[in-house]
Amino acid sequence: MALPVHPDILSLSPYVPGKPIDELQRELGLTRVIKLASNENPLGPSPKALAALSGAQDMLHRYPDGGAYRLRQVIADRWKVAKEQVILGNGSDEILGLLARTFLTPGDEAIMADHTFVIYKMEVTAVHGKPVIVPLVNWTHDLESMVRAVTPRTRLFFLCNPNNPTGTMVAAEDVDRLMAKVPEDIIVVFDEAYFEYVRNPQFPDAMAYVKQGRNAIVLRTFSKIYGLAGLRIGYGISTVEIIDYLNRVRPPFNANSLAQKAAMAALGDDEHVAKSRTVNAAGMEQMERGLRALGVTSIPSETNFLYFDAKRDGRLVFEALLREGIIVRHIDGTMLRVTIGQPDENAAFLHAFKKVLEGEGKK
């Protein structure tokens, strides 16, 4: 007999992560596989974070500090907020889920862009909220239309800045205008997973809205520039009130002890962050130039990935690249996303992509 599962859950499909390297190696018998699919830091974890982990195995039989006292204090000091304004998540993904569970009742609306980070829609739907999806304009959030989509049922407003998968950002003056128009009781979620990569001086200071007491939350992660995706840790900064509500729903030991240790060290590793930014900026140029030489234009990006129109079936390009040992991300239609890697990885991608495009001509 069919289980009585809610139609909202039936409407979801499991998140498809970037293919793991060893799986592809096994499947295709490849010796070298390059993964440029999940916006991970190609330089690896912060060396300081790795050092902080040595010896940590001795405490694995103990539960982590559920209040994450020290890490929250370090984060609070860093951003000049109170410790009570900081929440940790098992990745910032988890905080997105906590926001949905804490603030949405069935039928409540959450405004988000299309395309944007796919987790928003999933978390909102899972609690029977209603995702209100507003198309991008010029690959960027259309803040005006998003504000117009507000109704009395709107509770959350997701702003992925810079946006994944497009790499675009909305500027400070546009966010200011948004915050002037959006009703104060709506929680604006600033998902800033790529914050540390941004180079544009027009990028907004979202933390300032939190400090003004607005109902806003800024999400950051240790998965991207800090290179700790495998440990699963991210954080949110918001008002004391919002953090208090989220804490009532948060699983008590959601941030594990290794993650807390590593994150604390990584946050203080300015050298690794600086090096990662430099390598990324050079790699971005290499990739943009290489794509242009192949007749492909990419969307200018503030992140560590590029979004581009392959002008042919993106799934076929994705699969042909897999056979060359390169994992990228097919977004939809003709659009692909590629993470900036180390120089040799970028070169290998460009070489393989060229081969794929040429191979097509011969068929």
Ligand X SMILES: *Cc1c(COP(=O)(O)O)cnc(C)c1O
Residue ranges that bind ligand X, judged by CB under 6 A: 39, 91-93, 117, 160, 164, 191, 193, 221, 223-224, 229, 234
Q: Which is nearer to ligand X, 218 or 356 (CB)?
A: 218
* Shortest spacing between CB 109 and ligand X, in angstroms: 20
User: Strand 216-221 relative to strand 234-238: parallel, antiparallel, unpaired?
Assistant: antiparallel
Q: Buried b vs exposed e over 156-169: b needs ≥16 C-beta within 10 Å? A: bbbbbbbbbbbbbb
* Shortest spacing between CB 221 and ligand X, in angstroms: 3
Q: Which is nearer to ligand X, 35 or 224 (CB)?
A: 224
Which residue, judged by CB position, is nearest to ligand X in the bound state? 91
Separation of alpha carbons 257 and 215, rounded Å: 30
* Shortest spacing between CB 337 and ligand X, in angstroms: 10
Q: Which is nearer to ligand X, 200 or 212 (CB)?
A: 200
Going by C-alpha positions, the residue among 247, 175, 244 that lies closest to residue 212 is: 175
Q: Which is nearer to ligand X, 91 or 325 (CB)?
A: 91
Give the side-chain half-sphere CA count within 13 A for 240.
4
* Shortest spacing between CB 290 and ligand X, in angstroms: 23
Going by C-alpha positions, the residue among 337, 362, 361 that lies closest to residue 349 is: 337
Structure tokens at 341: 């890697």
* Shortest spacing between CB 242 and ligand X, in angstroms: 18
Q: Which is nearer to ligand X, 175 or 350 (CB)?
A: 175
Task: Give 150-205 as a DSSP string.
Answer: --TTEEEEEEESS-TTT-----HHHHHHHHHHS-TTSEEEEE-TTGGG---TT---
